[in-house]
Amino acid sequence: MNDSGSPTMPTKSDRPRLAVKLLDERMRDYLPDYATTGSAGMDLRALLDAPLTLEPGDCELIRTGLAIHIADPQLAGMVLPRSGLGHKHGIVLGNLVGLIDSDYQGELMISTWNRGSTSFTLEPFERLAQYVLVPVIQAELEVVDDFDSSLRGPGGFGSSGRQ
Ligand SMILES: O=c1ccn([C@H]2C[C@H](O)[C@@H](COP(=O)(O)OP(=O)(O)OP(=O)(O)O)O2)c(=O)[nH]1
Ligand SMILES: [Mg+2]
């Protein structure tokens, strides 16, 4: 927050820097970036040599041509669907959400599932999903016999009703 109480806009130089390898030279022109200053995710593009048609129910692993090494274990990447593709065309992720470990150095892959009822043709370099960097806290599990009591206790899965 600044003095006027509004959030201070971080500048590009405040951002963590992530090492990226181009596994296909064509991706140099298509490096992911934030579309607006407030975007949470960077769009990931499909590395394809030709259009690819996904029939209803098809699920294909699509290359991005990028390897991003996050390195910091207090960060992770998440691959999320784009809302327009998911809502209008049924193009979502075969794993629903992709979780990218900070020590992963391989190619970022997008499991692309046509959960809709019509075929969809994906164009080369089309923006297919989005990559969000998130903070992570790693924990140690400590085995106990009993918990300190809580208001909820073991209640879950709708125990509080619907209204
Ligand atoms: O949508 C995704 C999900 C995962 N990955 C990569 C990065 C991640 O760090 C690695 C392993 O993912 P995860 O742990 O979710 O898969 P797993 O089935 O448990 O594989 P592993 O045994 O390699 O951990 O695969 C992707 O490229 N795209
Ligand atoms: Mg795993």
pLDDT at 4: 55
Q: Per the domain annotation, does 146 fall within a domain?
A: no
Q: Do the annotations mark residue 5 as ligand-binding?
A: no
Q: How many domains does the chain have?
A: 1
Name the nearest CA neighbour of 128 among 147, 108, 146, 148.
Answer: 108
28 phi, psi to nearest 5 deg: -55, -35
Tokens coding 110: 């997008």
Expressed in angstroms and rounded, the spacing between residue 100 Cα and the centre of ligand 1 is 6
**Residue 92 located in a structural domain:** yes
Tell which residue, 124, 133, 134, has the closest CA to residue 65: 124
Q: Is residue 156 part of a domain?
A: no
Is 75 among the domain residues? Answer: yes
The amino acid occupying position 135 is P
* Host domain of residue 116: 19-33+42-135
Q: What tens digit of pLDDT does each residue of 106-156 get?
A: 999 999 999 999 999 999 999 999 999 999 999 999 999 999 999 999 999
CA-wise closest residue to 127 among 85, 94, 88 = 85
Q: Supply the residue whose CA is at minimum distance from atom 3 of ligand 1.
A: 98
130 CA distance to ligand 2 middle (Å): 20
38-95 confidence digits (pLDDT tens) = 999 999 999 999 999 999 999 999 999 999 999 999 999 999 999 999 999 999 999 9
Instruction: Examine residue 13 and state whether it is found in any structural domain, yes or no.
Output: no
Q: Which CATH number characterizes residue 58's domain?
A: 2.70.40.10
pTM of the model: 0.93
